[in-house]
Amino acid sequence: MHELLLFASVPVHQHAELLQQLAGLTGMQPRHCFERRLIFKAYRKPGQPNARVGASQDLQKGDLQRVNKMLNGGMFYTQLVGSVQSAHFGAAAADAVAGGAPAAPPADPDTNMDGMDEANPPLPRKSYDFDQQRWSLEFRDIPEAGTRSGVTARVMATAALPAVDVVQLMNAWGYSFVTEYIVEGDMFVQNDTAIYLHRVLHYPTTGDQEIRSPRRQLPNLDQMAPLEKTGSYVLQASITVQDSTNQDAMKTASQHLFALREQLRSAVKLEPADRLALDTRVK
Amino acid sequence: MMSHAECSPPRHTSTPIQVAFEVAPTVPFVTMGDTFNLPLRPHLEKGDHHDTLPAEISQINQQWGSFRDVNEEVLLAKMAEEDAAGGAVESIEEEDENEMTTTERLEELYKKRAEMLQFAMTAHTEATMALDFVSLLLSKWAPRQAESCMSPYLKHAVPLGSIDVDIVNPPPLLDSVAQNSKAVSSGWRLYNFNFASKKLLSAAGRLENEVDIEARYWDSVLEIKEQGWKICRHPREGQTLAVQYGFLEATPVFRNRGLATLRRAHDGTLNLYKGLVPPGSPFVRVSVLRCSTVTGSTTPPASLSDTAKTIHQQILHARDSVFEDELFYELLREAKSMMDCGVTTRHNSIQIPVTDDVEILLELVDAEESLRDEPENAQLDTQLAEGVAYSMRILLSFAHRLNHRRRIRPPAPLASEKPRTPEYHLFRPSLAYLQHVSQARCVESFIHGITGVMRSSGFQLPEYTTEILASLKINQNLPPMTELSALESLMINFLEPIESVFKVNLLTPNSSFTIKMRTNVLEPPYGTHFNVTYDLPAIPDLRSPGNLEMRHEVEAAVTHALLLDIVTKVSSSNKKSSNNMKQWEAIYPHIGELRLPLDYDTYKKMQISLSRDNLTISTNLIHSPGGRGFGEAFQRKKTVESKTWTLRSSDNPNEHSSALDFVAAETA
């Protein structure tokens, strides 16, 4: 899949106003969301064959082949994205609430049939359980070079991960955990375009010790510090295209982005991002 | 100069030629000749030549002034004036004609012509002289322009700019004259002040009026806003306000209709301008037809009557109209997808068969004309029609809600094929419900009938349990869903397959059979499906019929189970009562046949037949020489005695009061 993007920087004083403008433009209320993002770095395991020796029957189609090559080539950073709620911040971990003793591995909510028992509706749980967190793997390529279309275009792929220990899983695939952060933002949808007004929040620093695995619990939201000190936001307008060889679809997507840029011209200036700023290759 | 001024027509100060053309028809030169008047009319060419319209308009503008001052009265007055003048000239001409002979007239004509030429020459000379004088006077200040209109003679004779004017001390005015001019000037000033103050006052008044009008307009707009309507700038007309009353999630054509401009009338009242919308008040009327006769139909709500007065009512009317239009559009779309279920569509109507004799008719009619004579005893069907109408409207709103949910989801990747919007489910749920209830009532009445027959026959059958619409859990506390509101979960509950359960306990202890009915609401297969399960431990090899499609199959299965139960009951009834060895033996229980052996070659055969209306038990005493076998011996058997017990009415009672008595008697 291909992703076409335009970005704009939104100073914090304009944030509230822009939210209202976007709500009016898209005809929907903003969907506030928090995303936990874990960054993994690919590494080449010693002794593992570098490239697949394939014959001609192993040829795969365009994008898929490329994605596969990139994921197996071990050259890219990739990230796991998990959606969390604001109530999860600052809540004690589920294990601690259960009473100190290490609890048995919690069962999958689906196998428990949670929510099916109508007599006892499940209470909204405040505690955050890292093992219950669902993740999806997101891969983003470095944006294409030399496009004349005026939008940032890049290859992307997203896949939901099974409910297992993701760090182990990623290790097994040849990825090591690097760091993590939170993305806070509001999502809007206008026809095919997803408009995401967001900013990156960093976890509070915990001294010198280096974090080697994802946190089991989330700190209070007010302890999170924005990456951009002024607290400004990034407006990202994106359209995904299923088949990048379909020139009509690519053209339509960029036209939709340009139309949006025109509509928002008086508020923000949407423009393609610097290609090297979105570089995901491991140097 | 003075003479020229006297000669020129008194009313106009435009160019001489124009004056002549203009005035000639109305003011004859009476001063030039005493006896003969010749109008200085231009020679009119009656050709094909016409001025172009812009030329004519500018001509009229120059000649008569602006069109703004022209009204009917002015034109009539002008025409009357022209008629009077023209008539006078004509009458004079007629008189002259009578008096003069041809030669005289000719002579007169020449004479007058010469005279006229002379006057014209004089006028021309004087005009030229005046022009020269003015030109010479002006040549001091604007020599170039003045030179262009000087006569060559003057140019030659007098150098340019050789004459000047100056204001010299005027002779002292006489007191009376000074007084007079002072009075006149103060009079003028007074007049002008009055005029200006009047103007200002009228302007102030107009402004005040305008303020009132504007205030009234904005008050109305505010009132609308306070009533909860969304006011916005009209997207196409930048300077106008618009009110949004439509449904954002509707099909685009109806979504765009949901915006009306708020125009200001002359008196400041609000005008709702909806654009090019077909007039009238559309209304989807639901009628119930029994045997092709209307037995009940819905009436339009008050908001759809066209006599809306206030702006709020007008907005409500517009909103309901667009909703009704959309409802019918979506109903048509759904009906077209359900052609295979017997739904027929016409231009403005949809006919849906529900059961064998009941149909539902949906029509798009004008609310004003939709009032129909209420048939008698139509209360129930009117309620049914209203129920269907309400459900359709609720479901359309629910479809809007689902559209909204779909719209705000993260968008799917752009593909070459656009995902098709599925038809809404508007009448399908009602249809499924009605069909299900009708089928359930039929099954219930069948069970009621056949168990009634058994009870009347003396069998102590336990009560059966009925749970119609078991799947609807309206009164239960719905679990709080994370994404769906309680209302939406309720709606979804209604859109799930409808189920009803009948459980009939039998005479034999711990025996029963269960009928489950299920009707799909949203997806095929449509129609009601049955599942019959037997729980008859007495007959271990009996298999349940399982899934059945037709009602008569269900009835057959029910009859079969009850017959088996009666057979089991009869065959086991004597076990307890007596210790003798005589006992009915169920040899063919599935067809209700029992046998009671009496001695070696005689036995009794009992045939039980059960139907919805009757239970018949017949016994035959059969003499079968050579034993109870088959084959040749079977040929020789003969019936010796036959008895029958049938359920009868109380007027004509049986010898035995109940079937079991009959059986007991027969056993003995």
- Would B163 be classed as within a structural domain? no
Evaluate if residue B649 carries a pLDDT over 80: no
Return the pLDDT at B445.
92
Is residue B420 in some structural domain? Answer: no
How distant is the alpha carbon of residue A212 from its chain centre? Answer: 20
Number of domains in chain A: 1
Interface contact flag, A118 B479, Cβ < 8 Å:
yes
Q: Please state the rounded mean pLDDT for residues B512-519.
A: 91
Same domain, B308 and B354: yes
User: In this predicted complex, what is the ipTM?
Assistant: 0.75
Task: Provide the pLDDT confidence category of residue A105 given band limits of 50, 70 and 90.
Answer: very low
Cβ distance A261 to A190 under 8 Å?
A: no
Which among B643, B662, B446 has a CA at the least distance from the CA of B566?
B662
pLDDT the model gives residue A69:
64
B109 and B219 fall within a common domain: no
Buried b (16+ CB within 10 A) or exposed e, A211-234: eeebeebbeeeeebebeeeeebbb
Partner B contacted by A28 (CB < 8 A): yes
Tell me what the mean pLDDT of segment B210-216 comes to: 92
Helix (H, G, I), strand (E, B) or coil at A251: helix
pLDDT digit string, tens, across residues B7-65:
444 444 433 433 333 333 434 444 444 555 655 555 555 556 677 888 888 888 888 77
Q: For B349, phi and psi rounded to 5 degrees?
A: -150, 155
Residue A106 has a pLDDT of: 42
CB atoms within 10 A of CB A18: 20
Quick check: A277 and B439 in contact, CB under 8 A?
no
| CB-nearest partner of A28 from B408, B410, B413 | B408
User: Which stretch of B35-49, B204-218, B343-357 has the lowest confidence by average pLDDT?
Assistant: B35-49
Residue A206 Cα, gap to closest chain B Cα (Å): 35
Looking at residue A193, what is its pLDDT? 93
Q: Lowest-confidence range among A157-161, B167-171, B533-537, B587-591?
A: B167-171
Pick from A137, A152, A2, A157: which is nearest to A68 by CA?
Answer: A157
Residue A96 has pLDDT above 60, yes or no: no
Q: Kindly determine whether residue B411 and residue A27, on different chains, have CB atoms separated by under 8 Å.
A: no
Q: Which residues of chain B neighbour A253 with C-beta distances below 8 Å?
A: 414
Q: Is residue A258 part of a domain?
A: yes
Better-scored residue on pLDDT, B452 or B661:
B452
Residues B392 and B445 both lie in one domain: no
Closest CB from B407, B414, B480 relative to A189: B407
pLDDT of residue A195: 94
Residue A73 has pLDDT above 60, yes or no: no
Q: Is the pLDDT of residue B235 over 90?
A: no
Do B362 and B472 lie in one domain? The reply is no
Q: What is the pLDDT of residue A258?
A: 94
Nearest CB among A189, A192, A240 relative to B408 is that of: A189
| A243 contacts in chain B (CB < 8 Å) | 415-416
Interval B110-160: pLDDT, tens? 999 999 999 999 999 999 999 999 998 888 888 888 888 888 888 888 888
B241 to chain A, minimum CA–CA distance in Å? Answer: 16
- Is pLDDT above 90 for B187? yes
Residue A80 sits in a domain of what CATH number? Answer: 2.40.320.10
- Residue B546, by phi and psi: left (phi above 0), alpha (psi -120 to 50) or beta? left
Strand partners of residue B620: B605, B642
Q: Which is higher by pLDDT, B81 or A95? A: B81
Instruction: Count Cβ–Cβ pairs < 8 Å, chain A vs chain B.
Output: 46
B411/A240 touch (CB, cutoff 8 Å), yes or no: yes
Q: Same domain for B622 and B585?
A: yes
**Looking at residue B484, what is its pLDDT?**
65
- List chain A residues with CB under 8 Å of B238: none
For testing contact with chain B, the best of A4, A22, A25, A28 (most B CBs within 10 A): A28
Q: Are residues B273 and B291 in the same domain?
A: no
The predicted model gives B599-627 an average pLDDT of 82
pLDDT the model gives residue B632: 53
Using CB atoms, which residue from B408, B415, B476 is nearest to A249? Answer: B415
Domain boundary among B248, B277, B306: B277
Overall number of domains in chain B: 4
- Put simply, the answer to whether A246 touches B416 (Cβ < 8 Å) is yes
* Within a domain: B454: yes
pLDDT above 90 (res B326): yes
Of B200 and A87, the structure prediction assigns the larger pLDDT to B200
Tell me, yes or no, whether A46 lies in a domain: yes
- Confidence (pLDDT) at A280: 87
> What is the reported pLDDT for B163?
85
Using the predicted structure, report yes or no on whether residue B597 has a pLDDT greater than 90. no
- On whether both B268 and B295 belong to a single domain, the answer is no
pLDDT tens string B519-552 = 888 877 788 899 999 988 888 888 888 898 888 8
Structure tokens at B488: 């939406």
Across all residues in chain B, what is the average pLDDT?
Answer: 81
Instruction: Reply yes or no: is the peptide bond before residue B525 cis, omega within 30 of 0.
Output: yes
A60 CA: distance to closest CA in chain B (Å): 20
Cβ separation of B413 and A242 shorter than 8 Å? yes
Are the CB atoms for B249 and B403 separated by under 8 Å? yes
CB contact under 8 Å between B408 and A252, yes or no, is: no
Q: Which residue of B has its CA nearest to A24?
A: B232
Residue A119 pLDDT greater than 50, yes or no: no
Which residue range is the domain that position B244 belongs to?
A: 196-277
Checking if the pLDDT of A187 tops 90, the result is: yes
Q: Does A109 touch chain B (CB under 8 A)?
A: no
End residue of a domain, out of B258, B277, B296:
B277
Q: Which candidate in B259, B414, B471, B472 is best for mutational testing of the A interface (most A CBs within 10 A)? A: B414
Examine residue A161 and state whether it is found in any structural domain, yes or no.
Answer: yes
Phi-psi region of A146 (alpha: psi -120 to 50; beta: other; left: phi over 0): left
What is the spatial distance between Cα A150 and Cα B524, in angstroms, rounded to a whole number? Answer: 48
CB contact under 8 A, A189 and B476: no
Out of B157, B174, B204, a domain closes at B157
Quick one: B271 and B343 in the same domain? Answer: no
Chain B contact present for A189, CB below 8 A: yes
Domain around A268: 2-278
> Which pLDDT value is given to residue A98?
41
Does one domain contain both B305 and B203? no
Interface touch B411/A242, C-beta < 8 Å: no
Burial degree of A141 (CB within 10 A; 0-12, 13-18, 19+): buried
Report CB contact under 8 Å: A240, B479. no
> Of the ranges B35-44, B185-194, B254-263, B604-613, which one carries the lowest mean pLDDT score?
B35-44
Cβ contacts (< 8 Å) between B479 and chain A: which residues? 115, 118, 121-122
Which of helix, strand or coil describes residue B197?
A: helix
Question: Tens of pLDDT along B388-434?
Answer: 999 999 999 999 998 888 888 888 888 877 777 788 889 888 889 88
pLDDT above 90 for A218: no
CB B423 within 8 Å of CB B337: yes
The reply to whether A283 falls in a domain is: no
Looking at chain A, the whole-number percentage of residues with pLDDT higher than 70 is 74
With respect to residue B151, please indicate whether it lies within any of the assigned structural domains. Answer: yes
Q: Is B512 helix (H, G, I), strand (E, B) or coil?
A: strand
Residue A164 parent element (H or E): none
Looking at the structure, do residues B325 and B221 belong to the same domain, yes or no? no
Are B413 and A1 a contacting pair at CB < 8 A?
Answer: yes
In this prediction, residue B35 carries a pLDDT of 55
Q: Are residues B573 and B533 in the same domain?
A: yes
Judge whether A95 lies within some domain. yes
Residue contact B415–A243, C-beta within 8 A: yes
Statement to judge: residues B265 and B292 lie in one domain: no
| Better pLDDT: B625 or A151 | A151
Return mean pLDDT, chain A: 79
User: What single letter denotes the amino acid at residue B10?
Assistant: P
A242 touches chain B (CB under 8 A): yes
- The CA–CA distances, whole Å, from B55 to A62, A214, B51, B62, B75 equal 73, 88, 6, 10, 21
